[in-house]
Chain A
């Protein structure tokens, strides 16, 4: 069974731009969670989607948003990029959110 895939793997943007990251979960998984990983703050929860609905949200500003499609694929968007948004963005999928989460390889975002 294929694992979680994320595209693109690397991204370079400038301040003020916006960016969209994509995540394809493991087949059959309906829950997708997004995390931000930085050296200073570690792994921080952004939001979780289940059946196209945002079920939970972390403590991030409204510039961070996401959505989930009917095939469980998910996208996250960051608008008005800031230097501090440079991070590894990880997506994780699970069957229903209550069980094991499997992570993708991440998207490395650099904001210049």
Chain B
């Protein structure tokens, strides 16, 4: 089955700086790559997603890049704010409709 690895496990950034989280996947058949943000006591919330026919997607301060050849994708958050502090999960989905998640990255934005 699909195996998704996520790095780093924790990330501390100064407010206003950028944060980058990287994920790799194993199944070349995976074609959908969402990113979720999870705050304490809540379920994961989709923040951005990308499909395998697209190399990059941006939504305001958030961007995701995908390299199908290398089988890795990254989340970029620019101009970080305190409300960006949360746990972020990458995931990959293939033909079987099953989302395989990375282990998560705890992001702390220091004021």
Q: List residues of A whose CB falls within 8 A of some B CB.
A: 4, 31, 33, 35, 42-45, 48, 50, 55-56, 58, 90, 92, 97-106
Least Cβ–Cβ distance between A20 and chain B, in angstroms: 19
Query: Chain A contact residues: over half helix, strand or loop, or mixed?
Result: strand
Q: Is B71 an interface residue (CB 8 A)?
A: no
A49 to chain B, nearest CB (A): 10
Roughly how many angstroms separate A101 CA and B46 CA in the complex, as a whole number? 8
Interface size class, chain B: 20 to 34
- Listed from nearest, the 8 A-B pairs whose CB atoms lie closest are A97-B97, A103-B43, A43-B101, A105-B43, A103-B44, A45-B98, A106-B43, A42-B103
Is B99 among interface residues, defined by CB-CB distance under 8 A? yes
Instruction: Give CA–CA (A11, B96) in the complex, Å.
Output: 31
Interface string of B27-42 (1 = CB under 8 A from A): 0000010101000011
CA distance A102 to B82 in the complex (A): 24
Contact A55 B97 (CB under 8 A): yes
B46 pairs with A90, CB closer than 8 A: no
Given A43-B89, A100-B34, check contact A33 B97 (CB 8 Å).
yes
B101 touches A100 (CB 8 A): no
